[in-house]
Amino acid sequence: MKKILVTGGAGYIGSHCVVELVKSGFQPIIIDDFSNASPATLQNVFDLCGREIPVITGDCSDEVLLRTVFKAHEFEGVIHFAAFKAVGESVEHPIKYYQNNLNGVLSVVKMMEEFGVQKLVFSSSCTVYGTPTGSVKVTEETPLGVPNSPYGWTKLMAEQIIKDVAKNGKIKAVLLRYFNPIGAHESGKIGELPVGVPNNIVPYMTQTAAGIREQLTVFGSDYQTTDGTCLRDFIHVTDLAIAHIAAINLELDKEIEIINIGTGKGTSVLELISAFEEVTGKSLNWKFGPRRAGDVEAIFAEVEKAHKILNWSAKRGVKKAIEDSWRWEQYRLKHEVV
């Protein structure tokens, strides 16, 4: 059974990826420092996997720890999720983001070189495109822009680090530039579990509907979109996890492959709220607030390359993602998962 190191494997996207790896016949090994994940969700991950998964508690930028992990396991590849990921927080705490996100990727690729592990799937982001000029539907050939946040810069810089390291032929990488993950596992047993106040809209919506948060704020009402709110490409987290399985299985004939992962469709914030109210039957208490630093007005993916290279496409829509997120929120509250 091929072993895959999953950094940040206890987090939101990482945990869903671990479940899909097991379904696909891999043996994931998780490393996570639980700075933005809860150990309480791991048993549910194990239940969905049908067995316990090895978990190493620690920071993947710790080279001493990472070297011990690489010595103990012969890895087929690495899927690197571990990073701070809130745009707004990165504007407020840029040093925290640069230190964590860049040191993590540097340590991982260094260990891969040292131990002869070639295949890397990197969790990148559409933030590397900055604010698109011309079409808001971006392809992999769309010129990279000026990221609107330190978070975006860390993804752009990490991509460059990986590209430079790959030039020596010791690693090959798939850079997955994905858009806006939402949703939860259809079982309702795992989902997004933010530490403290959510930075992402869907968990804030579910917590508002559940009475945990008083009111949802929609940041900005005067964008040049159809309804004045930001337009995003919201992708179900399970579809996103499956894309990572396709990427780790990809036989690379070149050093770097860059692929957008999204639905190819844009949904505004107000459209998302409307869909939430329709699916859940809950009326959301929300208000408009000022624009938030770092937010891009409108962006969504051209996904033809993902279809062609990975034989992958998104199967689950926004309403399915909301349905699963609400199921997870109810499960979380019932079982006191925090």
Residue holding tokens 């859940």?
280
Catalytic residue numbers, as ranges:
151
Residues 238 and 215: their CA atoms lie apart, in Å, by 28
Residues 83 and 216: their CA atoms lie apart, in Å, by 26
In the three-class reduction of DSSP (H, G, I as helix; E, B as strand; rest coil), residue 281 is classed as: coil
Task: Indicate the helix (H) or strand (E) that contains 236.
Answer: strand 234-236
Task: Tell me which residue of 246, 301, 249 sits closest to 125, measured CA to CA.
Answer: 301
By the 10 Å C-beta count (0-12 exposed, 13-18 middle, 19+ buried), 140 is classed as middle
Residue holding tokens 């982001």?
125
DSSP symbol at 274: H
Residues 164 and 285: their CA atoms lie apart, in Å, by 48
CB atoms within 10 A of CB 337: 17
